[in-house]
Structure 1
Amino acid sequence: MSDLGLPAQIRACLFDLDGVVTRTAVVHAAAWKETFDTFLREHGGGGQRPFDAAHDYDEYVDGLPRADGVRSFLASRGITLPEGSPDDPPDASTVQGLGNRKNDLVLRKIREGGVEAYDTTLEYIREVRARGLATAIVSSSKNCLDVLRAVDAAGLFDVRIDGVVAAERGLPGKPRPDTFLAAAADLGVDPSQAAVFEDALAGMDAGRAGRFGRVIGVDRVGQAEALRAHGADVVVQDLAELAGPAEGTRSVGGER
């Protein structure tokens, strides 16, 4: 499977959603910034450093389940909140309430701006499936299915492990490998026979921890070295770069 950029033993491909399949990572970053900056102004009197949509997004929230992202970022500012419950209103000063505020914002931004897919990713997935490899979408988002339907891509995946499924099964999110391992198990393959495609540092950590056959970092924001440091075997800016000469004779974004 050299022209797919994958080792010969790979039988399944596990794809993250935001930043790999769809162009929604920037929408999530903007929603997080609005959510956290408003909270910090309301509760810190403007003395706290605002949310950085690049560094803080990558470091504390990207790829994590929503509540984990809230806890992680607030901890970076020395703030703790009560956990609350999943049905807390978005103005509640709880972890769950703040997460719900962010979700309302991201859904509004998606409704107003729409959703775009990376066409080269969809082409790559179609080629993967044409070669007989199984595919799964693995995302912490509870809106995953709606987003896939919006870009007409729901039918490209044999298995979906998203925020809804993870909650139903009690699976911890990234950087733990459990959601990726569940996708591989549902597809009937060993982790060594599966490739992980991720743009988040937490996703790299999950791929490395799960001992997957190939961990591919998709660098959309100029963090290639960080992706390698967190476990990427290969880093590309676009999945189209994976097509090329036989493995061992090419260099795709550098390998560790």
Structure 2
Amino acid sequence: MTSGRTDWTIPQISDRSFGAVLFDLDGVLTPTADVHMAAWRRMFTDYFTAHGITPEYTDDDYFAHVDGRPRYEGVQECLASRGVELPYGTPEDPPGDQTVCALGNSKNGAFNAVLREDGVDPFPGSVALLDALEALGVPMAVVSSSRNATDVLKVAGLADRFEVVVDGNVAAAEGLPGKPAPDTYQYAATLLGVSDAVSVVVEDAISGVQAGAAGDFALVIGVDRGAGADDLVRAGADVVVGDLGELVMP
């Protein structure tokens, strides 16, 4: 554990300093959101078509029902938007369409295949911010709903940047509710040994911003990768940027 420091100042709020930064992963540090979106689109389009479900799945569904949520919760939310209910099943269900977990596992297989084949590079602006925070000694954590976070960090060359990673696997093991509840972010701050009150949450998803706003965090930063700046502000973001490089002091 680290006691944390409070010496990170950002240009948008130059009169305050902060002691830790808690990052979402997909869409914040790496452009894996595009891979996730494509995998969800393929899975839901195939399922909706096979079962005559309308209206057809669009990327708006991703942002409204899936983005930032734990995998199986995202499946439930999207199906519920069409009035569809499936048995929940178990995480061990093989990929298919008989249960919520089976559908979620179908999507996960597609994501892993793309990640292995194409790899992923972090956003340059995000790396610049990580470099700046590392130089200051500011504690950092990754808080992701994905169960693939560790693999993504390794492929992107970021694994050694974070002493704490709270992903979907950790949340399940600890019994933590997923975003938009604040619990996973609070748990990450606890593992860092830093108070929520001096910690910054950085998110690109509506549900993730809501998670930050629901906790007693010092600041919630929204990164607009497609959700929309106004929607991020309405969800509780204190500051919205288009790229994390904007948070690096000149």
Sort the TM-score into its range (normalised by shorter chain): over 0.9
Q: Would you say 1:220 and 2:225 are equivalent positions?
A: yes
Contact persistence 2:22–2:140 (CA under 8 A): yes
Contact persistence 2:9–2:17 (CA under 8 A): no
Q: 1:43-192, aligned counterparts within 5 Å? A: 43-44=51-52, 47-53=53-59, 55-192=60-197
Moved more, 198-207 or 216-225: 216-225
Counterpart CA distance in 1 for 2:11 and 2:188 is 20
Equivalent position amino acid for 2:38 in 1: A
Equivalent position amino acid for 1:2 in 2: T
Match of 1:2?
9
Contact persistence 1:142–1:164 (CA under 8 A): yes
SS at match of 1:195: strand
TM normalised by structure 1 equals 0.91
Shift of 1:109: 1.7
Q: How many residues are aligned here?
A: 242
Q: Would you say 1:207 and 2:212 are equivalent positions?
A: yes
Equivalent position amino acid for 1:149 in 2: K
Match of 2:3?
none
Contact persistence 1:5–1:243 (CA under 8 A): no
Q: Would you say 1:31 and 2:39 are equivalent positions?
A: yes
Shift of 1:192: 1.2
Contact persistence 1:126–1:156 (CA under 8 A): no
SS at match of 2:16: coil
TM normalised by structure 2 equals 0.93
Counterpart CA distance in 2 for 1:152 and 1:239 is 18
Match of 1:251?
none
Q: Percent identity?
A: 47
Equivalent position amino acid for 1:51 in 2: Y
Query: For structure 2, which runs of at least 5 residues remain unmatched after alignment?
Result: 1-7
Equivalent position amino acid for 2:149 in 1: C
Match of 1:248?
none
SS at match of 2:147: coil
Counterpart CA distance in 2 for 1:4 and 1:96 is 43
Shift of 1:43: 1.7
Q: Would you say 1:197 and 2:167 are equivalent positions?
A: no
Equivalent position amino acid for 2:16 in 1: A
SS at match of 1:2: strand
The RMSD of aligned alpha carbons is: 1.5
Shift of 1:112: 2.4
Match of 2:50?
42
- Could you list the runs of 4 or more consecutive aligned residues of structure 1 that deviate by over 6 angstroms after TM superposition? none
Counterpart CA distance in 1 for 2:17 and 2:125 is 23
Equivalent position amino acid for 1:239 in 2: L
SS at match of 1:185: helix
Contact persistence 2:128–2:248 (CA under 8 A): no
Moved more, 112-121 or 80-89: 112-121
Contact persistence 1:5–1:244 (CA under 8 A): no
Match of 2:21?
13
Equivalent position amino acid for 1:155 in 2: D
Query: For structure 1, which runs of at least 5 residues remain unmatched after alignment?
Result: 246-256
Match of 1:254?
none
